[in-house]
């Protein structure tokens, strides 16, 4: 199966920023990314707005989208009540997320992993009532900022838990960006073999400079979708040591999806520059740095200069 891409700028990418991105610009960005060829977009979260204020307008973003656009966007949820509220606003794709490690789940969601697992059937049922889809999203699939390495057996037990039945995908998250390619390949392959009827999404961070390498290893292991954010934005406010997501520009340049022409790549680079500048954040994309080089004979170099 051809590898697909999900942009997570509007959820994970905004969790740590200090400036807001206007709702209208978020909606426009969704449409610009879809026009380029990006297959899926994570548009926000049902997390408490006082904890993650940059995502407080998630349902306003969803309301501004067309039904066809809503079919291709995902919203982060952590409880059945999140699903119910989001479904009432028109959301149909729900990323039900909890952590493999109890400590991070407690910090991030306010409950232990078992409580989140026990509630997942109700979340799946709530989504089914509106014809929706639920992803099983396993944060800290590799390491936890409080507990260290997450044993493979703990990850495997979640995959085997019957309370996750009804999910359409497994999202394997390198929340801290501390994983290396061999273990990414191993855990993604385990997810693919343990849940053969589901898609596998790899959500990586570039903290240790292995974002693209880990995404390639995930694809080798059977991932069907990889996550990235413009300019390498992102990070978890409840995970000390986490940095930005793997840059969407870097993933696209490395893997060359069918929709990526030099012109489309230039547009992607400019979008990343614009969004990071608006937010007052650094643009961490390595491909962007190359695109702004003086190697004019290389067709992927962007000809103009940023404002």
Q: Which are the catalytic amino acids?
A: 236
CA 263 vs. chain centroid, Å, equals 25
CA distance 173 to 188: 10
Q: Do the Cβ atoms of 283 and 272 come closer than 8 Å?
A: yes
- Which pair of structure tokens corresponds to residue 286? 């390595």
Residue with tokens 């696209």: 252
State how far the Cα of 181 lies from the Cα of 169, in Å rounded to an integer.
21
Query: In which element (H, E) is residue 186 found?
Result: helix 181-194
Contacts of 88 (CB under 8 A, 6+ apart): none
SS3 labels along 247-263: EHHHHHHHHCCCCCCHH
């Amino acid at each position: 199966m051809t590898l697909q891409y999900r942009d997570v700028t509007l959820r994970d990418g905004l969790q740590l920023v200090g400036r807001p991105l206007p709702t209208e610009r978020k909606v426009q960005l969704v449409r610009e990314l879809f026009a380029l060829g990006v297959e899926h977009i994570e548009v926000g979260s049902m997390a408490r707005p006082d904890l993650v204020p940059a995502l407080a307008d998630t349902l306003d973003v969803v309301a501004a989208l067309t039904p066809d656009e809503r079919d291709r966007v995902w919203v982060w949820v952590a409880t059945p009540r999140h699903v119910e509220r989001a479904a009432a606003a028109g959301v149909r794709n729900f990323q039900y997320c909890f952590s493999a490690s109890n400590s991070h789940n407690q910090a991030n969601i306010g409950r232990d992993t078992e409580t989140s697992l026990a509630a997942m059937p109700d979340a799946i049922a709530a989504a089914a009532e509106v014809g929706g889809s639920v992803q099983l999203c396993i944060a800290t699939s590799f390491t936890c900022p409080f507990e260290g390495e997450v044993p493979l057996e703990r990850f495997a037990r979640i995959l085997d838990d019957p309370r996750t039945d009804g999910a359409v995908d497994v999202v394997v998250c390198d929340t801290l960006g501390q994983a290396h390619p061999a273990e990414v390949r191993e855990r993604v392959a385990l997810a693919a073999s343990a849940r053969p009827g589901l898609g596998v999404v790899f959500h990586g961070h570039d903290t240790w400079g292995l974002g693209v390498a880990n995404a390639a290893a995930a694809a080798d292991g059977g991932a069907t979708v990889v996550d990235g954010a413009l300019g390498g934005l992102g990070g978890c406010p409840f995970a000390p040591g986490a940095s930005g997501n793997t840059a969407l520009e870097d993933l696209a340049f490395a893997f060359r999806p069918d929709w990526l022409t030099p012109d489309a790549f230039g547009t992607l680079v400019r979008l990343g520059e614009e969004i990071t500048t608006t937010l007052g954040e650094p643009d961490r994309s390595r491909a962007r740095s190359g695109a702004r080089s003086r190697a004019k004979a290389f067709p992927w170099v962007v000809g103009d200069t940023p404002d």
